[in-house]
Structure 1
Amino acid sequence: MKRAWGTPPELRDASAAEHYADKEAARYTNTGARIGIQQDMSRRAIDLMMHGGWGGGEETEEVARQLPGCRGRLTLVDVAQALPLRAASLDGAISISALQWLCVPVRAEDLTLGLFEGLARALKPRARAVLQVYMRGERDVDLFVWAALRARLRAAYMVDYSHASDAKKYYFVVEKSERGGGKAEAADDWK
C-alpha cells in the first residue's frame, strides 16, 4: 500500500524531540495540506466530544471558534511527562496526531500509563478525552486500552475513513466515570 504523504515521522527513526523542534514545528504548522487535514480531524474529534484541548494550539483554536464563551490557555507540555493540571480541572480534552509518539520508545508502557493516569486525575467526572492517534497495529491499540483501563477510565476506540484516501484515522475515547471504574466498550455503546 502506497502512502500519499510518505512515511510518518515517528516511523522514520525520528525522535519526538527532533520532530517538534522549532524549525520542524514551523514547517509542520505552515504546510497547507497538513492544516486542512488537522482541521478536519479536529472537527471530527469535536463531533465526538470537546470542551478543552491540548496540542500545537490549532485544535484549541478550532474548538474556541465553535464553542461560544469557550475560554482556554495554551500550555506547552511534553505528554510523556506528568500533566501539570489540578485534579478534576478539565471538562474534556482532545489530542490530534501526537500520542503515537508514546508507542515508539522502549518505555511505551510507562509513558502511556503516565498519560492516562494524568488524564484520569485531571478530568472531571463524566468528562471525556478524544485522542486521534495513528496506530501501527493491534499492539498500539492494546497498549492504549490497557493503560486507560489501568488508570480506571472507560475506553473505546473507532476507526474513521473520513478522507478520500485509504488512510485510517483512529480515535481513542476515554471517559472518567463518576465512580472511577474503567471498562472497554464499543464506541456505539456511549450516548
Structure 2
Amino acid sequence: MISIQQQLSERAIELLALPEDTPCFILDVGCGSGLSGEALTDQGHVWIGVDISSSMLDVALEREVEGDVILGDMGEGMAFRPGTFDGVISISALQWLCNADKTYHNPPKRLYKFFSTLYSSMRRGARAVMQLYPENSDQLELITRQSMKAGFTGGLVVDFPNSTKAKKMFLCLFTGGAPQQLPCGLGTPGANPQQTQAAFTSKRERMQRIRGKPPKKSREWILEKKERRRRQGK
C-alpha cells in the first residue's frame, strides 16, 4: 500500500507540471500519514496537509514529516487566503465527499464548498490534481460538475484505461490563466512510452542538492534524524 501511495503521489505531482528546480507551495488534501507529502518534500517543495482524521495526523507527526498538518473537513471548505498555493494534490480522498456520513451532509453542497474555496486559495494558472476511486459514473459526473461550477476547467486523466488492475483516475483541474492542454494518460495513444515513475529520481537528487539536504536514508540523513530525536527527548 505504501508503494502504491508513493507511485500515485509521484504521478499526481508529475501532472501538476510544476516548474523544474523551483520550490513551490503545495496543498495536500487528505494527507493522512504524510506519504504523499514526503513525495513533495523529496522533490524540494514546501507543503501543508489537511485531513479529517486526527489519528492519521498523529502518525504523520510521529513520522516527522516536513510539512505542516491541519485537522479539517474538506467538505467544510479550505480556509486559506486567496492565491496561497502553487498547486494542489489529493490521493484517494475526493470520493468520500460523495457520501453523506451525517444527517446534515449534502454531497453536492459539500463538493461545491470544497471546490469553490479551493479555487480561491490557488493562484491563477495553477493546477489541482486529485486521484480518486469513484464508485460509479454518477459519482464521477457529480464531482466533475461541481468542480466546473466552482470555476475550474480541465477534466479527467485516466492512466492505463484498458487495464483492470493498473487503471487510475486523476481529476486534473486548472484555475485559468494561459490556456492549458489536458495531459495524456499513461498507456493511451499520444502518451510518452518513456514516461515512468523513475523519471523523478534525478530531479529529486538535484532538488536535494539545491536545498543543501542529504539524500534520504543516507548516513548524513540518519545522523540528522537521530540528533533531531535526541533534541525532542526521544
Output the TM-score relative to the length of structure 1. 0.70
Question: Hey, what does 2:27 align to over in structure 1?
Answer: 53
Q: Does 1:66 align with 2:40?
A: no
Q: Return the letter of the residue paired with 1:155.
A: G
What's the offset of the Cα at 1:161? 3.0
Distance 2:35 2:74 in 1: 17
Question: Hey, what does 1:110 align to over in structure 2?
Answer: 109
Q: Quickly say closer, same or farther: Cα 1:58–1:100, change in 2 above 3 A.
A: same
Q: Return the letter of the residue paired with 1:85.
A: F
Q: Secondary structure at the match of 1:80?
A: helix
Kept in 1, the 8 Å contact 2:40–2:46? The answer is no
Q: Does 1:120 align with 2:95?
A: no
Distance 2:183 2:150 in 1: 19
Distance 1:157 1:65 in 2: 26
Question: Hey, what does 1:129 align to over in structure 2?
Answer: 128
Question: Hey, what does 1:80 align to over in structure 2?
Answer: 75
Distance 1:109 1:176 in 2: 20
Q: Quickly say closer, same or farther: Cα 1:107–1:167, change in 2 above 3 A.
A: farther
Task: Trace 1:1-191 onto structure 2 (pairs within 5 A).
Answer: 34-49=1-16, 51=24, 52-54=26-28, 55-56=31-32, 57-67=34-44, 70-72=45-47, 73-105=68-100, 107-161=106-160, 166=165, 168-178=167-177, 187-188=183-184
What's the offset of the Cα at 1:107? 1.4
Q: Quickly say closer, same or farther: Cα 1:136–1:187, change in 2 above 3 A.
A: farther
Q: Return the letter of the residue paired with 1:80.
A: G
Distance 1:113 1:58 in 2: 27
What's the offset of the Cα at 1:165? 5.8
Percent sequence identity is 29
Kept in 1, the 8 Å contact 2:13–2:40? The answer is yes
What's the offset of the Cα at 1:187? 4.2
Which has the greater radius of gyration? 2
Kept in 2, the 8 Å contact 1:145–1:155? The answer is no
Q: Quickly say closer, same or farther: Cα 1:155–1:144, change in 2 above 3 A.
A: farther
Question: Hey, what does 1:20 align to over in structure 2?
Answer: none
Distance 1:172 1:131 in 2: 5
Distance 1:186 1:46 in 2: 15
What's the offset of the Cα at 1:108? 1.3
Q: Return the letter of the residue paired with 1:133.
A: L
Q: Deviations over 1:126-179 (max 9, x none)?
A: 0111000101221122112211111011121112239x8625321001111139
Q: Quickly say closer, same or farther: Cα 1:74–1:147, change in 2 above 3 A.
A: same
What's the offset of the Cα at 1:74? 2.3
Q: Deviations over 1:30-76 (max 9, x none)?
A: xxxx1111101001101101541311222122111112xx2233223
Kept in 2, the 8 Å contact 1:59–1:96? The answer is yes
Q: Return the letter of the residue paired with 1:120.
A: Y
